[in-house]
């Protein structure tokens, strides 16, 4: 048997869209996500805090059908039951959600599991698990989510890069002007809500972010 250190080697974290219907400014949710994917989003996390379980599952099913046609993975925030119900590609868990070991046991091999790190102890603790990625959260302060720990800022990201063997995704306050700095200070991928969901053209916003990310990776 071939030993693997990561549960899911092929997930492309470069431009990771985290959904928030309220940030879509009244436009059709599925249209916004599909436009973003056409612009180059490589992973989508369905993050729903107020839908009923039934509505969450319906939304996840519909989104999965769209994303499958672009070969883009669907990640479910928090809800293992919803991820299992729709056979999503993985889950994203936070520090107060289900523990990693439980999520791993329930989901089985081959699924993406991402974890948020909100403080230094979270980064150190996560070294023992075979995560698909660690989300440094929030990198910068953001009006989209205000109940957060202190932002990491770029020096905190550098520290996390030195400590962690996991791919790092940054989330919180990312936009075209600071994405290059995030990549050159250690991020493997950039997760955004408003920079895409609230943009006049989600497709063009995704294209612009993707181009900055790829140029930053090639020429750090």
> What positions carry a catalytic annotation?
47, 116, 145
Q: Using CB under 6 A, which of the segments 27-35, 63-71, 96-104, 168-176 binds ligand TZP?
A: 168-176
Both structure tokens of 188? 């493997």
Contacts 24+ apart (CB under 8 A), 86-92: 86/57, 86/60, 86/61, 88/46, 88/60, 88/64, 89/8, 89/11, 90/8, 90/11, 90/114, 90/132, 92/45, 92/47, 92/116, 92/135
| Half-sphere exposure in the Cβ direction for 131 (13 Å, CA) | 28
> Binding ligand TZP by CB under 6 A: which of 112, 195, 199, 206?
195
> Binding ligand TZP by CB under 6 A: which of 33, 160, 192, 209?
192
Beta-strand runs (E) in 94-140 = 112-117, 133-136
Backbone φ/ψ region at 143: left (φ over 0), alpha (ψ -120 to 50), beta: alpha
Residue 73 binding ligand TZP, by CB under 6 A: no
The minimum distance between CB 107 and ligand TZP, in angstroms, equals 21
Partner from ligand TZP, Mg ion, none binding residue 174, C-beta < 5-8 Å depending on class: ligand TZP
**Which residue is associated with the tokens 């519909």?**
62
The minimum distance between CB 139 and ligand TZP, in angstroms, equals 8
Pair 169, 191: CB distance under 8 Å: yes
Q: Using CB under 6 A, which of the segments 66-74, 136-144, 178-186, 199-207 binds ligand TZP?
A: 136-144
Task: Compare residues 15 and 80 and give the one whose CB is closer to ligand TZP.
Answer: 15
> Binding Mg ion by CB under 5 A: which of 12, 29, 85, 94?
94
What is the contact surface with Mg ion in residues (CB under 5 A)?
A: 78, 94, 97
What is the contact surface with ligand TZP in residues (CB under 6 A)?
A: 18, 137-138, 142, 144-145, 148, 171-174, 192-195
């Amino acid at each position: 048997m071939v030993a693997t250190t990561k549960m899911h080697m092929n997930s492309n974290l470069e431009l990771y869209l985290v959904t928030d219907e309220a940030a879509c400014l009244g436009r059709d949710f599925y249209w916004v996500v599909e436009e973003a994917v056409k612009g180059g989003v490589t992973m989508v996390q369905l993050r729903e805090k107020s839908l009923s379980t039934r509505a969450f599952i319906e939304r996840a099913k519909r989104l999965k059908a769209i994303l499958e046609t672009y070969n883009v993975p669907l990640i479910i925030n928090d809800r293992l039951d919803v991820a299992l119900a729709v056979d999503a590609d993985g889950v994203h868990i936070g520090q107060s959600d289900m523990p990693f070991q439980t999520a791993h046991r329930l989901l089985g091999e081959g699924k993406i599991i991402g974890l948020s790190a909100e403080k230094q102890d979270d980064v150190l603790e996560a070294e023992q698990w075979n995560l698909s990625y660690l989300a440094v959260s929030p990198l910068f302060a953001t009006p989209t989510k205000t109940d957060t720990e202190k932002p990491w800022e770029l020096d905190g990201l550098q520290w996390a890069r030195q400590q962690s063997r996991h791919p790092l995704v940054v989330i919180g306050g990312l936009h075209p002007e600071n994405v290059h700095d995030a990549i050159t200070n250690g991020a493997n991928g950039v997760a955004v809500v408003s920079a895409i969901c609230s943009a006049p053209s989600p497709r063009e916003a995704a294209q612009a972010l993707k181009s900055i990310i790829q140029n930053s990776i090639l020429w750090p």
